[in-house]
Structure 1
Amino acid sequence: MSVLHVWMRSAVALTLLSGAAFADVTVSQSNDPTANLGGQLSALLGAERNALGTVPAHRLEQVATAVVRPEKSPRLRKSVEKPALRYDEDWLASQPVAAKGSDEWKCLATALYFEARGESIQGQFAVAEVIMNRVDRPGYPGSICGVVHQGGQFSYTFDGKPETIHEKGAFQRAGKIAALMLAGAPRQLTQGATHFHTRAVRPGWAHRFPRTATIGGHLFYRQPGGS
């Protein structure tokens, strides 16, 4: 910003002061002010002080400070400071218990319970990422329940065993993770993985899909192609 623009904005601020109004004045710092800017401002403010004899000196100094060193808005700082997602027991325990939610929440929580309840918090979030990634990917059902119940994909849905939840604490934890994922938690663990399997098996597609992560007892892969 040129010295002329700084002079004009300072003059506007000082004019408002003469009417008993005080306005915050800021100047973009993207371009470094010239070395003699301070001196020119001092001369300018001295002239304005003579013209506006009723303006207290400390008010003029506030204007000069605002022009040369604008402060960031505390409200703006607060708006961009968001708590980061953490993958540990203490942090997850501090999150509110998910009340009985939508069918999508139930499908995701149930899938995490049966497919990954023995995994760490990070491992369960990773499995949730796979399900959410499939929902967003062409070629898969466009809903969580559709993805989970797609034929032959998640073993608990076709192993012939009843889907009975015996471990209430484990399901509560899975429910919290499901709620966080539905609320838009970042998917930052598996690099867009669409598949996973345990270390105990080696499905035919595993040698064709690039592996993206290994977390706990699961290996994660991303299906080639698509978006």
Structure 2
Amino acid sequence: MKKSLTALTFLAACAITQPVFAHDLGPKDSRNIREFKCFVDNVYFEARNQTETGKFAVAFVTLNRVNSEDFPNSICEVVWQPGQFSWTSDGKSDIPTEKVTYSDIRDLMAYMYLRPEVFKDPTNGATEFDYKTIQD
């Protein structure tokens, strides 16, 4: 049952295309486009080699931080807050090199970014996590 729901969630997320997402944001809403890029970049660099649950965990921790009084209130500020996500200060390029993987993550995150309430938070509201504690 759990795998069926995961597959259904994945298929629903993949059904959202870039033009639909761009339309939902509005053509002149550059702040939301920047926020979405920070969101996808964070999931890509933190969890591209993780399971779908791991990717959603990074996504939810990011959004949970935005909604917490203890962190900045924008995705980009949360992602780029010093010492929070390792990829932002590892000295490596911040340009995604695995284009297909990046595209897949972008598609998976598009619907979740717009409607996070539709998805189950695998972190149960956490603002911090350790990959070892996340299970499928």
| Same topology, TM > 0.5 | yes
- Provide closer, same or farther for how the CA distance between residues 117 and 160 of structure 1 changes in structure 2, counting only shifts above 3 A: same
- Answering whether residue 87 of structure 2 is matched by residue 156 of structure 1, we say yes
Structure 2: unaligned runs, 5 residues or longer: 23-32
**Which residue is equivalent to 1:168?**
99
Give matches, 1:123-162, under 5 Å: 123-162=54-93
Structure having the larger proportion of residues in helix: 2
Give matches, 1:38-49, under 5 Å: none
Q: TM (normalized to structure 1)?
A: 0.47
- Provide closer, same or farther for how the CA distance between residues 92 and 171 of structure 1 changes in structure 2, counting only shifts above 3 A: farther
- The SS at the match of 1:88 is helix
- Answering whether residue 131 of structure 2 is matched by residue 198 of structure 1, we say yes
Q: CA deviation at 1:93?
A: 7.1
Q: CA deviation at 1:165?
A: 1.1
Aligned residues, how many?
119
Matches of 1:192 and 1:119 in 2, distance apart? 19
- The SS at the match of 2:134 is strand
**Which residue is equivalent to 2:6?**
87
Identity of aligned pairs, percent?
A: 36
Matches of 1:118 and 1:125 in 2, distance apart? 12
Matches of 1:192 and 1:158 in 2, distance apart? 25
Q: TM (normalized to structure 2)?
A: 0.75
- Answering whether residue 121 of structure 2 is matched by residue 188 of structure 1, we say yes
Q: Is the 8 A contact 1:92 1:176 kept in 2?
A: no
**Higher Cα Rg: structure 1 or 2?**
1
Q: CA RMSD in A?
A: 2.5
Which of 1 and 2 has higher RCO (CA within 8 Å, sep 6+)? 2
- The SS at the match of 2:50 is coil
Q: Is the 8 A contact 1:130 1:195 kept in 2?
A: yes
Q: CA deviation at 1:121?
A: 1.5
**Which residue is equivalent to 2:38?**
107
Consecutive aligned runs of 4 or more in structure 1 exceeding 6 Å deviation? none
* 1:88 partner letter: A
